[in-house]
Structure 1
Amino acid sequence: MLIRRAAAQTTTAVLHHLRRFSTAALLQEIDTPVQFYYLDGFPRPDPKYDETIHAIPRVISGKNIAAKERKAGRVPSIVFEAEDGQHGGNKRLISVQTNQIKKLVNHLGQSFFLSRLFELEVRPEFGSNEIVEKVRVLPRKLHLHAGTDAVLNVTFIRAPSSAWLKVDVPLIYRGDDVSPGLKKGSALNIIKRTVKYLCPADIIPPYIDVDLSELDVGQKIVAGDLKVHPALKLLRSKDEAVCKIMGARVSDQRKSK
């Protein structure tokens, strides 16, 4: 009897140890951040367009302060934390150089500027050798003047490797020169210029290719047809149309006869 009881106690202790070990291993696996990489065949940012955005701290905000900043050739901006990948938490008020942001927006285009990661260096003043903060960021919002397209405000969000970020990824339409429908004289109806995805920060696509080469009259491409990195999560209905080859109207067909 004593031998059986001792054996049972030993078995219970071993099982308890194994459960603890398994649980610890599982928790360690869950807590270990997943590293994502760009895959062959998918667009990736062109390194020749990499640029460090320079900034200085801004102590207070307000319309008068913002106006003074713009008059001095600076753009009032904010850098938010990417706490849960989406919502802003801790924020830093900064000002960036108007000429630099204007050059980037003009060079890349607004949609492509808002889907590209940049290194951001905050210094006590422009030209200083001291770095207050250096961080990778994603431009989240860009406010332009309606009449002049002058840059009024920029909002950035920190983009560490652990972050998942909502991004409106630009679409680039290709193959229109060989599309059967377009060669017949039909028109391309572009419904979406961007599509929103939840992206791991390390593999934000600079754009998505939309292949029109096999599209015939009356056919369409929906969001679920787009070829993207498997880690990206579509934040729209997969059945939402992004483009369609429009057929000729009945009146147009009669005229052609």
Structure 2
Amino acid sequence: MSQETYELKAEARERVGKGSSRELRRNGMIPAVIYGDKQAPLSIALSTNEVTKRIHAGGFMTTIATIDVGGQKIQVLPKDYQLDPVRDFTMHVDFLRVSGNTEVTVDVPVHFENEDKSAIKQGGVLNVVRHTVEFICPANQIPEFITVDLSGAKVGDSIHISAVKLPKGVRPVITDRDFTIATIVAPAAGVEEEVTEEAPASEAE
């Protein structure tokens, strides 16, 4: 399961727009919106320091939070956040209202284990095709990560989603194929072949 829930204090925003947002950021606050659950969107302002701390702690997008807006506590899941491309600080956050029976779509990180029990120990190279996988799951059962067991994997093997034991209620968004998460490839040889194949094209130019 994902990390424990946390709470953020927020203020309701009566004014919205670029001017209002700039003023908030100058005062150490981040504009945000809570939407979903068949209710009207709610514009709020959050502490920049608190939100940044939560983003850097990891698991921000897969952890349910409680937002206290003037005493009203709302359970939410972060769905998106925007960073300033130059100064790299948080500009805006979107939150989705959730309840116990809410299903959400989330990107879950992939972790690998038992590399020492696979061909990687003899020099094989792990080629990660998907660092995250998109799942549909109950909002209160979002896995912090999924684990791929590499025990016995040989050079040339592909590890598919069907080989991963998923928590109850968690299912991949892609259902029309048994997609690949990673492969084990031979070292160096593959690189040499690529260079050999590309050389004639370079010479032709």
Which range, TM-score by smaller chain? 0.7 to 0.9
1:250 is displaced (CA, Å) by 5.8
| Pair 1:251–1:199, CA change in 2 (3 A) | closer
Q: Which residue of 2 aligns with 1:116?
A: 63
Distance in 2 between the 1:148 and 1:217 partners? 43
Matched residue type, 2:86: G
Q: Which residue of 2 aligns with 1:142?
A: 81
| Pair 1:121–1:240, CA change in 2 (3 A) | same
| Pair 1:80–1:250, CA change in 2 (3 A) | closer
Distance in 2 between the 1:210 and 1:163 partners? 27
Q: Is the 8 A contact 1:179 1:216 kept in 2?
A: no
| Pair 1:82–1:196, CA change in 2 (3 A) | farther
Q: Is the 8 A contact 1:118 1:138 kept in 2?
A: yes
Distance in 2 between the 1:62 and 1:225 partners? 48
Q: Is the 8 A contact 1:142 1:155 kept in 2?
A: yes
For the residue of structure 2 that corresponds to 1:69, the secondary structure is: helix
Matched residue type, 1:104: R
Q: Which residue of 2 aligns with 1:209?
A: 147
Alignment of 1:151-166 (within 5 A): 151-166=90-105
Q: Which residue of 2 aligns with 1:55?
A: 10
Q: Which residue of 2 aligns with 1:96?
A: 46
Q: Is the 8 A contact 1:55 1:122 kept in 2?
A: yes
Matched residue type, 1:210: V
Deviates more, 1:133-142 or 1:232-241: 232-241
Q: If the length of structure 1 is used for normalisation, what is the TM-score?
A: 0.69
Q: Which residue of 2 aligns with 1:10?
A: none
Q: Which residue of 2 aligns with 1:82?
A: 37
Matched residue type, 1:153: H
Matched residue type, 2:80: K
What RMSD over aligned residues (CA atoms) do the two structures have, in Å?
Answer: 1.9
For the residue of structure 2 that corresponds to 1:153, the secondary structure is: strand
Q: Is the 8 A contact 2:2 2:62 kept in 1?
A: no
Distance in 1 between the 2:192 and 2:79 partners? 44
Task: Give the alignment partner of residue 241 of structure 1, picking from 180, 185, 191.
Answer: 180
Distance in 2 between the 1:191 and 1:214 partners? 19
Matched residue type, 1:117: I
Q: Deviations over 1:128-159 (max 9, x none)?
A: xxx1x201110000111223321111100011
Q: Is the 8 A contact 1:69 1:75 kept in 2?
A: yes
1:251 is displaced (CA, Å) by 6.9
Alignment of 1:183-202 (within 5 A): 183-202=121-140
For the residue of structure 1 that corresponds to 2:62, the secondary structure is: coil
Query: Gaps spanning 5+ residues in structure 1: where?
Result: 1-43, 84-88, 124-130
Q: Deviations over 1:96-150 (max 9, x none)?
A: 1100011111111xxx210111111112xxxxxxx1x201110000111223321
| Pair 1:236–1:251, CA change in 2 (3 A) | closer
Q: Which residue of 1 aligns with 2:197?
A: none
1:240 is displaced (CA, Å) by 1.7
More strand by percentage: 2
Matched residue type, 1:90: A
Which has the greater radius of gyration? Answer: 1
Distance in 2 between the 1:195 and 1:56 partners? 34
Distance in 2 between the 1:251 and 1:164 partners? 43
Matched residue type, 2:69: V
Deviates more, 1:154-163 or 1:185-194: 185-194
Q: Which residue of 1 aligns with 2:169?
A: 231
Query: Gaps spanning 5+ residues in structure 2: where?
Result: 194-205
Matched residue type, 2:160: V
Q: Is the 8 A contact 2:64 2:140 kept in 1?
A: no
1:62 is displaced (CA, Å) by 1.5
Q: Is the 8 A contact 2:3 2:63 kept in 1?
A: no
How many residue pairs get matched? 191
